[in-house]
């Protein structure tokens, strides 16, 4: 194999269609655009979602839903992760230092996923009703 002999695989490359180059090309005169109308003009087309003046779909359908921008400051911690952490007293700072929640988190809630055997005292952290029962059953408390 020589450098002057390398070429792309058959069918990998193909020529771009050149329109408006005379009758013999098959794409002369109107260049595949048909006759008259907005789509035949240069620069003439509609915006995305335009339906010819009819009320567009995205405006006919009702607006729905809302996502609070404050959700990025909330986090959840499981009973399993509290078990692994192994601290007797847990607060927001402890969780941040352990890497269980990110640094920008402001509100943390414990959810009942997994088991808890160690007594854990939560301060400044919320818990679901089921998680609270599990923590108190293990000898801990939620403040």
Q: What is the pLDDT of residue 135?
A: 94
- Whether 86 shows a pLDDT value over 90: the answer reads no
Instruction: Note whether 76 and 50 are same-domain residues.
Output: no
- Whether 59 shows a pLDDT value over 90: the answer reads yes
Instruction: Note whether 86 and 109 are same-domain residues.
Output: yes
Q: What is the DSSP letter of 17?
A: P
Instruction: Note whether 44 and 104 are same-domain residues.
Output: no
47 in any annotated domain: yes
Tell me the per-residue pLDDT of 119-134, one tens digit each, with 9 for 90 and over.
999 999 999 999 999 9
Tokens of 85: 């952490």
Structural domain boundaries enclosing 137: 69-142
With a CB cutoff of 8 Å and minimum separation 6, the contacts of 100 are: 77, 81, 85
CATH number of the domain to which 91 belongs: 3.100.10.10
* Boundary residue ending a domain (64, 84, 101): 64
- List, in sequence order, every residue forming a beta bridge with 111; answer none if it has no partner: 78
Instruction: Note whether 78 and 137 are same-domain residues.
Output: yes
As for how many domains the chain has, the answer is: 2
Reported as a pLDDT band with limits 50, 70 and 90, residue 10 is very high
Instruction: Note whether 131 and 92 are same-domain residues.
Output: yes
Instruction: Note whether 76 and 136 are same-domain residues.
Output: yes
């Amino acid at each position: 194999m020589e450098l002057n002999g390398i070429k792309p695989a058959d069918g990998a490359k193909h020529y771009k269609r050149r329109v408006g180059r005379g009758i013999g090309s098959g794409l002369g005169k109107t260049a595949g655009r048909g006759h008259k109308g907005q789509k035949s003009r240069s620069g003439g087309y509609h915006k995305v979602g335009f339906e010819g003046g009819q009320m567009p779909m995205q405006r006919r359908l009702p607006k729905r839903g809302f996502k609070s921008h404050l959700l990025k400051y909330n986090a959840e911690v499981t009973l399993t992760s509290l078990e692994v952490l192994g601290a007797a007293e847990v607060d927001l700072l402890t969780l941040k230092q352990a890497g269980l929640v990110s640094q920008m988190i402001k509100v943390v809630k414990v959810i009942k996923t997994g088991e808890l055997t160690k007594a854990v005292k939560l301060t400044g952290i919320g818990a679901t009703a089921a998680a609270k029962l599990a923590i108190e059953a293990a000898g801990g408390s939620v403040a």
